[in-house]
Structure 1
Amino acid sequence: MRKIAPDERQMMRKSYVKKLIHVIRTQGFLSLTIQDIANTMNLSRASLYNYFSSKEDVIMELTNLCIDYINEADQTISNKKLPYPLRLQKVFEQAVLSAVYASDTFLSDLKRSCPHLYEKKRQSRSEQLSTIHTFYRNGMKAGVFNELNASILIIQDEAVLGKLVNSPFLMEEEMSLKQALLDYYAAKRTQVLRPEYIQSLENEEIQAMVDSILKKLA
């Protein structure tokens, strides 16, 4: 077998762990064997060991993938050169992907079996919340956002988006994930943005934002 270059190996590690997201966010990982993980990745057990040294190595890569995304999103949210409505979209995107990458089931297993990774994820989450709180407060001071409780806005996103991506709700309501995200964001922007800033947004722009989220989830 040919030798895998470090950059290619890292890219393939990320690609393979993404295939585990649905299983791990809904079922956790404590009961998964290396063979289960290899099967979900469509790899043989021997091939899996070309990319990962152990089950914990797999979980570490998945945790780092989540943290890397949060760090990337935080840079956009904190960028004062970008308009608030655009950065609000990034807050929304971050909340959707956090609901997918960091479900309660996954975090519970991480806390039990990999406390060092759980602590790393917890610290990343703490920094994320601080960034979002500052963003909302500054947007209110700038007169772009309505005067609202930032903590409630964050909890609301966690509750609603967690239900949308981690439960049979969409099937029961005969609704696509795309439509659910569009409808929820329409409600969120009306709640957060002052009327004059809502009017400045184009529907095509919102559609593109949701399509981008769905592409990442796929």
Structure 2
Amino acid sequence: MRKIAPVERQMMRKEYVKQLVHVVRTQGFLSLTIQDIAKTMNLSRASLYNYFSSKEDIIMELTNLCIDYINEAGKTISNEELSYPLRFQKVFEQAVFSAVYASDLYLTDLKTSCIHLYEKKMHSRKEQLSAIHTFYRNGMKAEVFNQLNPSILIIQDETVLGKLVNTAFLVQEELSLKQALLDYYVAKKTQVLKPEYLQNTENEDIHAMVENILNKLAAI
């Protein structure tokens, strides 16, 4: 087999662990064997070891993928050169991906078996929450957002989006993920944005924003 260049190897590691997101979110990872993981990645067990040294190495890459996305989204949310309504969309997107990447099952397994990764993930989460709290508070001071409790807004996203990314729930409620995200986003921005700023966003392409989220989800 040809030698894999370090840059290509790292890129492929990220692509392969993306294929584990749904399984790990819905089943956790403690019960998964290396053979299970290789099958999900559509690799032979031997080929898997060309990219990963162990099961813990795979979980580390998956955790870092989640943290990297959160950190990247956080840069946009904290960019004061961008409008509050635009950054509000990024908060929404980040909340969707947090629901996908960090299910309770995954976090429980991480805490049980990889405490150092769990602590790294929780530190990232703490920074994420601090950035979102600051964003909401500043938006309220600027009189763009209604006076609401940021903690409640965050819990609301975690609860609702945790349900919406659950395929069984969508089937039960006869909803598509696209329509569910569209409806929730409209409800959320109506709740958060003051009326005058809602009027200024009438021409925004909400469908394009949700399609962008769905395309990113399809890639994992």
TM-score of the two chains, using structure 1 as the length reference:
0.98
Matched, 1:198 2:198: yes
Q: Cα deviations across residues 177-217 of structure 1 (Å, max 9, x unaligned)?
A: 00000000000000000111112224552111111111111
| Structure 1 alignment gaps of length 5 or more | none
Deviating more after overlay: 167-176 vs 92-101: 167-176
In the alignment, the residues of structure 2 paired with residue 17 and residue 49 of structure 1 have an alpha-carbon distance, to the nearest angstrom, of 13
**Structure 1 residue runs of 4+, over 4 Å off?**
none
Q: Give the letter for the 2:191 counterpart.
A: Q
Give CA deviations for 1:30-69 in whole Å, capped at 9, x if unaligned.
Answer: 0000000000000000000010000000000000000000
- State how many pairs are aligned: 218
Q: Give the equivalent residue in structure 1 for 2:7.
A: 7
Name the counterpart of 1:120.
120
Match of 1:37 in 2: 37
Name the SS for the 1:168 alignment partner: helix
Question: Counterpart of 2:69?
Answer: 69
Correspondence 1:23 to 2:23: yes
In the alignment, which residue of structure 2 is the partner of 1:159? 159
The 2-side partners of 1:38 and 1:51 are apart by: 11
Percentage identity across paired residues of the two chains: 80
Give the structure 2 partner of residue 60 of structure 1.
60
Cα distance, 1:166 vs structure 2: 2.6
SS at match of 1:146: coil
Work out the CA distance in 2 between the residues paired with 1:31 and 1:100: 19
- Give, in whole Å, the separation in 1 of the partners of 2:41 and 2:154: 33
Say whether residues 1:104 and 2:104 are aligned partners: yes
| Alignment pair present for 1:142 and 2:163 | no
Listed as ranges, the gaps of 5+ residues in structure 2 are none
**2:200 partner SS:** coil
**RMSD of aligned residue pairs (Cα, Å):** 0.9
Measured after TM superposition, the shift of residue 167 of structure 1 is 5.2
